[in-house]
Amino acid sequence: MTKRVNRKCTLVRRPQGRPRSADFAIVEAPVEAPPEGCALIAVEHLSIDPFIRAALNPGSAHPPVALGEVLPALGVGRVVESNCDGLRVGDPVCGTFMAQTCATLPPMAVEVVDDSRVPLRTYLGALGSTAGLTAYFGILEVGGVSEGDVVLMSAAAGAVGSIAGQIAKLAGARVIGIAGGPEKARFVCDELGFDACIDYKHEDVAARIAELAPAGVDVFFDNVGGPILDAALDNIANEGRVVLCGAMTQYDHMERVEGPSLYLRLAERHARMEGFTVLHFHARYEEGRRQLAEWLTNGALAVREHVDEGIENLPRALLRLFDGSHIGKLLLKVG
């Protein structure tokens, strides 16, 4: 019987600005039988998320990756050997499996999920913490979106923005997306059902916001930060809300983050800005997944995935997050 080999993506050089392939290495190690109290998981898909990039910076809000260590990543897979109670061979599971093809973990570190109605990888996308659940709680709880609101969504063609905008539509809001390029703008309007989309690569974002939302933006859901955040602040409505979900434009230079210059619009218009991470809602994941699954199965929620293959292509997939060459949820198939 051929012995399993675990292939891992490790950090060998701390990135200076945008990461490069030379910052990473793929290493191999034999897979041992799981010790007592653990199970061996064959990883099938990994989620390519912005927090991975943030964790490459020293002093990151996420636990920073040391040189030589395996990159963090959420994953899904199946139990192939078990030496513990609570996990059986064949169980579909998700968890923080790291950027590798095999993971050995105790039951408390993984979640057994139901893949009888949706593909297992859906637990990294529409039903996952860093995509669907972030969108769900960010829009409904942090943003408090309700019928009649005008919602502006940055990175509208991305994993979170594409779902968050649709949830806002389901809540009765008018939704304006911001995305890069005509293909993404068409996707946002034609497939996701947004009311309009601003192409930030070819349009004046601030002018278009003012044109599309003359009475102001009630809720801005921000995934990118930088100048687009300022453009939204300049057009925020009285008593508007800004939801800080991410800051994709800032992760390559966290030592000199560019904050908003128009934050005083919040005071002038009695508006508020609130940041969050989905972990604050961990106790309510089951609620969120139940509702998201219902929308998925009845066709109320459209999703798109971009799947790269091979653990050796994880660095390239990570770069794809920032170069705009994907639409929807970005995944890496490793098994």
Q: What is the CATH number of the domain that holds 214?
A: 3.40.50.720
Does residue 274 sit in the same domain as residue 233? yes
Does residue 148 sit in the same domain as residue 22? no
Give the per-residue pLDDT at 1.
46
Does residue 319 sit in the same domain as residue 238? no
Does residue 44 sit in the same domain as residue 139? no
Does residue 158 sit in the same domain as residue 204? yes
Between CA 299 and CA 313 the distance in angstroms is 32
Give the per-residue pLDDT at 61.
65
The total of structural domains in the chain comes to: 2
Tokens of 22: 């030379």
Does residue 19 sit in the same domain as residue 145? no
Does residue 115 sit in the same domain as residue 160? no
Residue-wise burial string across 248-262, b where 16 or more C-beta atoms lie within 10 A, e elsewhere? bbbbbebeeeeebeb
Tokens of 26: 């793929």
List all residues 6 or more positions away from 295 whose beta carbon is below 8 Å from its beta carbon: 166, 170, 301
Q: What is the CATH number of the domain that holds 22?
A: 3.90.180.10
Predicted TM-score (pTM) of this structure: 0.94
Question: Which amino acid type is present at position 313?
Answer: N
* 28 inside domain: yes
Does residue 140 sit in the same domain as residue 251? yes
Tokens of 264: 């005083």
- Could you give the dihedral angle defined by the CA atoms of residues 184, 299, 121 and 308, in that order, rounded to the nearest 10 degrees? -30
* Residue corresponding to tokens 């995944």: 331
pLDDT along the chain (335 residues), means of 10: 86 91 95 97 97 84 87 98 96 98 97 95 97 98 98 98 98 98 98 98 98 98 96 98 90 77 96 96 96 96 97 94 92 94
Give the per-residue pLDDT at 201.
96
Does residue 213 sit in the same domain as residue 311? no
Does residue 133 sit in the same domain as residue 270? yes
Number of H helices, E strands in the chain: 9, 15
* 286 inside domain: no
Give the per-residue pLDDT at 154.
98
* 68 inside domain: yes
Range of the domain at 118: 5-125+304-333
